[in-house]
Amino acid sequence: MKKKRLVVLLFCVSFALGICFGGYALSFAAFSENNATERVPVEKTAFASGGYNDGLVETYRSDVAAKNAPTVVCDVTDKTTLDSLTAGDERPSNAILRLDADCNVTGAGGEILGSFKDVYANILQGKIIPVLYLKDGAAASAAIRFLSEDTDILDLAVMSDTPSIIKTLREFNNKIRGIISYAANADLYDVVKTTNENYANVAVLPQSAASAKNVRYVHARFKTVWVTANSSDEMTLRDCINSGAYGVIASDFGAVYGVLRTYGENDLFRAPFNVAHRGLPKQCNENSVSGALAAAASGATHVELDGWITTDNEIMLLHDGLLDRTTTGTGHIENYSAAELKQFTLTLDAEPIPSLTDAIRALKDTGVIIVFEIKTKKPEIVARLKQVLNEENCYDRLVVISFETSILALMKELLPEVPTANLNSCSASTFKTDLLQLGELNTGVDCNSGTVSPKFNEYYLRDRGFVGWYWTYDNRSLMNRAVECGYVGITNNEADAYANNLMLVEGAQDYAEKLERGDKITLKVTTFAGAVKQAEGVVTHCVDKGDGWEVTALYNSSRNTYHTQRFWVRKGAQKKGCGSLVEPTASGAATLTFLLGAVCLIIRRRKKTA
């Protein structure tokens, strides 16, 4: 009888664990569906503005100590929230205003809060950027009428769950910025692709989808993530802030600022992207396959490579137009065919001059993104690039940068799904002109580091949904200074210097007998080179849920402090010998279930033969 009970018990445990661990894995699986992209009818109006407001909103300078904290966006859901925008000195950078077919601002329930014209003039007052949320084609038509008949506004964004609405508005008025909101199950690459090809620069993710890894995936491809908070309690807001998102959306914007003030001046909300400029130029041939692979192996997240087009329509990699400095050849690379270039080699180790295809294939399994700089002015390179991306099926692993605005315009036309960034200077003194160009070209910012400052990075770029990428940092010391300013895209000549630096920190401890703020806790740290180790952290916030705690924690590196998103710690003694770095997966659950089932069968057989 005892053996029979044991058999039943083991089967029950096996079944329960399989469901538990399998469910855990499925809940964190990659997104699989994208928002609908079908076109929504929108009333077109001839552009004949009754006035033009080209002023830049002076966004709020908060007293948050940490650099490049997420911008604070208020979702105006009702009259109380609308009134809160002018209730004190504190204000959000952006306010989401739901527009109806009559150009009124409405609450989440449809109640009219006032006309957009009055809200814009009397409440936003040039101090808060308006984000017009457009539910349908009628609301989009109302926005077009306002911008064409009343006031054409430079510093304004439009937002929708329907990507085609944003594209229509941006085609009508390419100065304004686009924001697209996604469901929790949206595929990550589709988020990037859909956002870019519908001329938007911000993707809004629900909190359930905004893990640090997912946010980093989108940011790595020149698009920006804002996250919608589920509520305004501290744990929820910490989870959103610690995701690394560039903006947090909440109705209670004061609560977001309250949590942000708990972070110190050495706290960083996201690790930078380590962009290897021409590979590892101080050790390897520039723009070489060996240099690209060496950079990838030593912790580069991106490799920046330069491209030209040959007489036989092949894209070849070389920084200078002339072959003389870095190869055994002479003359301009575009005067040769790809076959003719094979007679020359790179000056170090007699390595061949590579094609873009060579680099794509070499980096295929590294996870590294190619930042492809189009050097040439020849327009045919864009059509050839499209062929290469189709042949190699690598749209998710390449973005484009260029100084040539004609090339960026052609990218928008022929390869709208590929994000781009403008290498020309961008600064506070020229930002009105810069903003016009960014909108016209549907491009991002990757500019000379000498023209920017933390203030510019935050209050000009961040608050308008642009992630700043900057070039070129020549050594580790300069890279560290840039990171401490909160800069995200760091193009540099010593990518290997960051091999052992922290890239991601997560919770690792499974159990605790007691837990409170300030306690030590075990975390998992991943470096740029991919090494994973356990590290000691400190609990920053924990909520007792009865059978365990929801926890956020910090990790102090040698220079900066990084934060985890919330994770679960069960109540009970720490389990010894249970590798806390092993994450449960569906396959792991199946294996565990199989083993427990095998034990049960052995016991049953022994019983029969007894």
pLDDT tens column, 163-177: 999 999 999 999 999
| Predicted pLDDT of residue 579 | 41
Range from 4-13, 43-52, 429-438, 575-584 that averages highest in pLDDT: 429-438
| Predicted pLDDT of residue 334 | 98
pLDDT at 595 over 60: no
Report the pLDDT averaged over residues 184-213: 98
pLDDT at 62 over 70: yes
pLDDT band at 296 (very low <50, low <70, confident <90, very high): very high
Report the pLDDT averaged over residues 313-330: 98
Tell me how many degrees the CA angle 311-408-191 measures, rounded to the nearest 5. Answer: 115
| Predicted pLDDT of residue 38 | 56
Structure tokens at 266: 């050495």
| Predicted pLDDT of residue 339 | 98
| Predicted pLDDT of residue 118 | 98
Using the Cα atoms of residue 499, residue 241, residue 180 and residue 454 in order, give the sign of their dihedral: negative
pLDDT band at 48 (very low <50, low <70, confident <90, very high): very low
pLDDT at 25 over 50: no
pTM for this entry: 0.88
3-state SS track over 39-91: CCCCCCCCCCCCCEECCCCCCCCCCCCCCCCCEEEEECCCHHHHHHCCCCCCC
Note the helical H segments in 442-486. Answer: 454-456, 476-484
pLDDT band at 15 (very low <50, low <70, confident <90, very high): very low
Q: Is 429 helix (H, G, I), strand (E, B) or coil?
A: helix
pLDDT at 147 over 80: yes
In this predicted model, what pLDDT tens digit does every residue of 240-265 receive, in sequence order? 999 999 999 999 999 999 999 999 99
pLDDT at 109 over 90: yes
- Rounded-to-integer distance, Cα 48 and Cα 147, Å: 9
| Predicted pLDDT of residue 575 | 60
CB 287 within 8 A of CB 278: yes
- In DSSP terms, which residues pair with 177 in a beta bridge? 157
pLDDT band at 598 (very low <50, low <70, confident <90, very high): very low
| Predicted pLDDT of residue 43 | 61
| Predicted pLDDT of residue 472 | 98
pLDDT at 448 over 90: yes
Q: What are the CA-CA distances from residue 165 to residues 36, 40, 119, 443, 484 (Å)?
A: 11, 6, 23, 19, 38
Q: Of 272, 195, 235, nearest to 483 (Cα)?
A: 272
| Predicted pLDDT of residue 558 | 86
| Predicted pLDDT of residue 432 | 97
Give me the percent of the chain exceeding a pLDDT of 70: 86
pLDDT at 514 over 90: yes
In this predicted model, what pLDDT tens digit does every residue of 519-560 receive, in sequence order? 999 999 999 999 999 999 999 999 999 999 999 999 999 889
Residue linked to tokens 């040769």:
336
Report the pLDDT averaged over residues 486-493: 98
CA 486 centroid distance within chain? 14
pLDDT at 96 over 50: yes
Residues contacting residue 34 through CB under 8 Å, at least 6 positions apart:
182, 186, 187, 190, 191, 194
pLDDT at 213 over 80: yes
| Predicted pLDDT of residue 576 | 54
In this predicted model, what pLDDT tens digit does every residue of 122-131 receive, in sequence order? 999 999 999 9
Report the pLDDT averaged over residues 199-207: 98
Report the pLDDT averaged over residues 386-408: 98
- Rounded-to-integer distance, Cα 523 and Cα 510, Å: 10
| Predicted pLDDT of residue 114 | 98
pLDDT at 33 over 60: no
Q: Of 396, 329, 408, 335, nearest to 360 (Cα)?
A: 396
Q: What is the rounded average pLDDT for all residues in the chain?
A: 90
| Predicted pLDDT of residue 610 | 41
Residue 462: is it exposed, middle or buried by C-beta count within 10 angstroms (0-12/13-18/19+)?
buried
